[in-house]
Chain A
Amino acid sequence: MAVTAEDLSPTIALDGGRKIRGNLTQARIRWMVLALVLGFGAVGGRLIQLGMVVPDSTIEGQARDVITATRPPILDRNGLEMAVDIRVPSLYAEPRRIIDVEEAVAKIRTVLPDLNETWLRNRLTGDKGFVWVQRELSPAIQERIMRLGIPGVEFLTESKRFYPGMSEASHILGSTNIDNQGIAGIEKHMDDDNVALLQELGLARGNALAPVELSVDMRVQHVMHEQLVDAMSRYKAIAAAGVMIDVHTGEVIALASLPDFNPNDPKTALVKDSFNRITAGIFEPGSIFKTVTMAGALDSGSVRFTDQFDARFGVRFGRFTIDDFHGKHRILALPEVYKFSSNIGTIRVMQAMGKDNFRAFLSTMGFDQRVPFELPEMRLPTVPKTLSEVGAATASFGHGLSVSPLHMVTAYAAFVNGGNYIAPTLYKRTEAEAEALYRRVIQPETSANIRALMRLNAIGAGGSGSQMNKEALGYRVGGKTGTAEKVVDGRYSSNKVTNFFGSAFPMENPRYAMIIMVDEPKAENPQSGTTAGWNAGTVTGRIVQRVAPMLGIAPDFSPIIDDSFVPSAYR
């Protein structure tokens, strides 16, 4: 029979003292382990809990990085600051720490009486941890509020954009909102580019951002702005604008449009009338467009510099007859057509080229689309897709189509720099960089002819640029006037005009091209007129007279220079 364990009664086991102590120790160790596990479990649980908490980003500590986010300083081409960041105090409150709301409201309003009492009371009541009271105050006001000693009301330093040039370069710079984000001009372009990304990543802190260098020369910008302000009052105009670019690099040297705004006070930027007329304004360019017609026709080879055109009678299109403003009513040579600004002659030049070729040339010159440019304020030009006979005729002298002054200055730059189209820019660009972007639009010989025509218009007898030349004598400026009649109640009005002057200097080897616009000018005195030569022309002359020395162009009165490229036969 097998012996099985079941049959055995339990053996009596006696544990020795050592074994009892050993078991006790084991039990203690287990309790210890349990206690430790619980302890670490509690710590771990708390850690997870803390990790799940979403921080209240409106509270000072966390919001700090965002509001002190800085923007790079903007410098002009000579290193002068056009926009800098300054630190200013901003007033905030912690409503949960305010003991007596009524007292706080009354005290704050002694220093900031503009705050609405009910608004402020609602603002300071409640259990919130952070509310703005008033942002971007002056250090003096900060001092006075500190002296009030209200608990729960404190200051925070914020970055604020400051434009030391005030309104002078307003349309170039644009403006920023209270959170230091660009809302217009180059500031907005910079944001779209990369600054906003940097700020979001929290990298835009301190003053570590590399400055942005613009192509603008503040000295020239100042003179242009000053002269335009002068023109506004001198000719009682409703608006004035001007732009100057380097013809070889496309760099914008100055750009101003009046009425303007103060970028330090962004509210003023939203006034309807202060839009940028250079980029966002489109106008019928008037006779300054004749330069485009001449360049196209001469380049196509269908007309030559010496050709004659019959300008004895107006050109008839059905019921309409197009005539000349200062009609000579004789046969004119091509340079005379340009010099006397003959509409008839220009139509004949365009017709010799052919209206379809003329339309194609407008596309070549980029008149169909926006000028590639940094500023966000741009408008599409309106140029008809196809031109009828009469449409082409009016377009040849700049009516029936609307383009921005920036289009015109870019075209003029291409006409005088040897025939290369270069898109304008507000950033610095070297000549080598620009050459890579060149697009040939006319031949160098045509460019030489256009230079001769423009200079002839300034020095020739009866040329519309002679008043301009009187102001800027010696600086070899050449240019073309344009007096565009405005459409009032569906018809062209002869007393409401937009005047332009397109120019370049020094004409024998041009370096700068400029467009000046004066909108609805009145005669300065009874002896003067309202056509472009009297206002836009003289403004151009005065600007060149002031800025040419700054730009390193010395006056030269010797007739040899003019003789070298302007044929004397047409003077």
Chain B
Amino acid sequence: MIRSLNIILIFTSVIMLAGVYTLKFSIEHTASERTALAAQIESQEGDLSLLKADWAVLNQPGHIDPIVKRHQVALAIGPVQQKQFGAFQDIPMRPVKPNNSEMDALFQSLEAGIDPIDAILELEGIE
């Protein structure tokens, strides 16, 4: 009985030993993966900081202004002038709707060969 117990114990310890080593190696593997990821994140953060800095430079008015000046002639642009501003109050009111029925009557009489202007001209004595 003792012998079989010993065999069981030996097997258990061998299995546990193997298990512990597997665990150890897998943890080491995870740790190195984690380190690699951390390094990657850091390098990407570094790249990101450079890209952000680039973006900030490109957005600066001091960077855009010379570009605008360079293309000023070609694009016909310039700083806004006072006279280019307007307000809704400055827009004239919409003209009164044209009188459609009278226009129709005019066109019909023109089509019929009677030009109302002739009557006026005749009255004024021009022609």
What residues make up the interface of A, taking CB atoms closer than 8 Å to B? 80-81, 84-87, 157, 162, 164-166, 168, 206-207, 218-219, 221-223, 225-226, 473-475, 545-546, 549, 554-555, 557
Complex Cα gap A157–B62 (Å): 29
B49 touches A218 (CB 8 A): no
- Pick out which of these stretches binds chain A: B7-15, B21-29, B52-60, B96-104: B52-60
- Pick out which of these stretches binds chain A: B80-88, B105-113, B118-126: B80-88
B65 within 8 A of A: yes
B60 touches A164 (CB 8 A): yes
For the complex formed, measure the closest distance between the CB of A208 and the CB atoms of chain B, giving whole angstroms: 11
A80 touches B59 (CB 8 A): yes
A84-B49, A87-B45 known; A473+B82 contact, CB < 8 A:
yes
A168 touches B52 (CB 8 A): no
- List 19 additional contacts besides A166-B60, A218-B60, A474-B85; criterion CB under 8 Å: A80-B56, A80-B59, A81-B53, A86-B46, A87-B45, A87-B49, A87-B50, A157-B46, A165-B60, A166-B62, A218-B61, A222-B60, A222-B61, A225-B62, A475-B82, A545-B82, A554-B85, A554-B87, A557-B82
B82 touches A474 (CB 8 A): yes
Residues from chain A with Cβ under 8 Å of B115 in the complex: none
Question: Inter-chain contact count A-B, CB under 8 Å?
Answer: 64
A87-B49, A207-B45, A222-B65 known; A81+B82 contact, CB < 8 A:
no
B33 within 8 A of A: no
Sample (29) of A-B pairs whose CB atoms are under 8 Å apart: A80-B60, A81-B52, A81-B53, A84-B53, A84-B56, A86-B46, A86-B49, A87-B46, A87-B50, A164-B56, A164-B57, A164-B60, A165-B60, A166-B60, A168-B62, A206-B45, A207-B45, A207-B49, A218-B60, A221-B61, A222-B60, A222-B65, A225-B62, A226-B65, A473-B82, A475-B82, A545-B82, A546-B79, A549-B80
For the complex formed, measure the closest distance between the CB of B35 and the CB atoms of chain A, giving whole angstroms: 13
Complex Cα gap A168–B45 (Å): 27
Residues from chain A with Cβ under 8 Å of B60 in the complex: 80, 164-166, 168, 218, 222
**Which residue of B has the minimal Cβ distance to A70?**
B49
Residues from chain B with Cβ under 8 Å of A221 in the complex: 61
Interface residue SS majority, chain B: helix
Residues from chain B with Cβ under 8 Å of A166 in the complex: 60, 62
For the complex formed, measure the closest distance between the CB of A319 and the CB atoms of chain B, giving whole angstroms: 51
B49's partner among A85, A165, A168 (CB-CB below 8 A) is A85
For the complex formed, measure the closest distance between the CB of A32 and the CB atoms of chain B, giving whole angstroms: 22
Complex Cα gap A55–B60 (Å): 45
Residues from chain B with Cβ under 8 Å of A80 in the complex: 56, 59-60
Complex Cα gap A290–B53 (Å): 46
For the complex formed, measure the closest distance between the CB of B112 and the CB atoms of chain A, giving whole angstroms: 53
For the complex formed, measure the closest distance between the CB of A324 and the CB atoms of chain B, giving whole angstroms: 34
**Which residue of B has the minimal Cβ distance to A166?**
B62
For the complex formed, measure the closest distance between the CB of A139 and the CB atoms of chain B, giving whole angstroms: 8
- The interface centre, meaning the residue of B45, B57, B61, B87 with most chain A CB atoms within 10 A of its CB, is B61
**Which residue of A has the minimal Cβ distance to B80?**
A549
- The interface centre, meaning the residue of A86, A218, A549, A554 with most chain B CB atoms within 10 A of its CB, is A86
Residues from chain A with Cβ under 8 Å of B85 in the complex: 474, 549, 554-555
B87 touches A165 (CB 8 A): no
For the complex formed, measure the closest distance between the CB of B28 and the CB atoms of chain A, giving whole angstroms: 20
A157 touches B61 (CB 8 A): no
**Which residue of A has the minimal Cβ distance to B51?**
A86
**Which residue of B has the minimal Cβ distance to A475?**
B82
Complex Cα gap A474–B81 (Å): 10
Complex Cα gap A168–B46 (Å): 26
A-B pairs, 5 with minimum CB distance = A87-B46, A81-B56, A222-B61, A164-B56, A555-B82
A165 touches B82 (CB 8 A): no
Residues from chain B with Cβ under 8 Å of A554 in the complex: 85, 87
Q: Mark B30-74, 1 if CB is under 8 A from A, else 0.
A: 000000000000100110011011001101111101000000000
A80-B56, A84-B53 known; A165+B79 contact, CB < 8 A:
no
Residues from chain B with Cβ under 8 Å of A225 in the complex: 62
Residues from chain A with Cβ under 8 Å of B57 in the complex: 164
**Which residue of A has the minimal Cβ distance to B81?**
A545
Residues from chain B with Cβ under 8 Å of A473 in the complex: 82
For the complex formed, measure the closest distance between the CB of A143 and the CB atoms of chain B, giving whole angstroms: 13
Residues from chain A with Cβ under 8 Å of B87 in the complex: 554
For the complex formed, measure the closest distance between the CB of A345 and the CB atoms of chain B, giving whole angstroms: 34
Residues from chain A with Cβ under 8 Å of B65 in the complex: 222, 226
Residues from chain A with Cβ under 8 Å of B52 in the complex: 81, 84, 86
For the complex formed, measure the closest distance between the CB of A73 and the CB atoms of chain B, giving whole angstroms: 9
Residues from chain A with Cβ under 8 Å of B45 in the complex: 87, 206-207
**Which residue of A has the minimal Cβ distance to B58?**
A164
For the complex formed, measure the closest distance between the CB of B22 and the CB atoms of chain A, giving whole angstroms: 28
A165-B62, A168-B62, A207-B45 known; A86+B82 contact, CB < 8 A:
no
Complex Cα gap A64–B92 (Å): 70
B62 touches A86 (CB 8 A): no
Residues from chain B with Cβ under 8 Å of A165 in the complex: 60, 62
For the complex formed, measure the closest distance between the CB of B106 and the CB atoms of chain A, giving whole angstroms: 42
Complex Cα gap A263–B49 (Å): 18
Residues from chain B with Cβ under 8 Å of A168 in the complex: 60, 62
Complex Cα gap A555–B81 (Å): 9
Complex Cα gap A555–B60 (Å): 26
Residues from chain B with Cβ under 8 Å of A207 in the complex: 45, 49
**Which residue of B has the minimal Cβ distance to A80?**
B59
B62 touches A222 (CB 8 A): yes
Complex Cα gap A166–B53 (Å): 12
For the complex formed, measure the closest distance between the CB of B72 and the CB atoms of chain A, giving whole angstroms: 15
Residues from chain B with Cβ under 8 Å of A164 in the complex: 53, 56-57, 59-60, 63
Residues from chain B with Cβ under 8 Å of A84 in the complex: 49, 52-53, 56
Complex Cα gap A89–B42 (Å): 12
Residues from chain A with Cβ under 8 Å of B61 in the complex: 218-219, 221-223
Complex Cα gap A474–B49 (Å): 44
- The interface centre, meaning the residue of B52, B57, B60, B79 with most chain A CB atoms within 10 A of its CB, is B60
Complex Cα gap A223–B79 (Å): 11
**Which residue of A has the minimal Cβ distance to B79?**
A546
Complex Cα gap A447–B53 (Å): 45
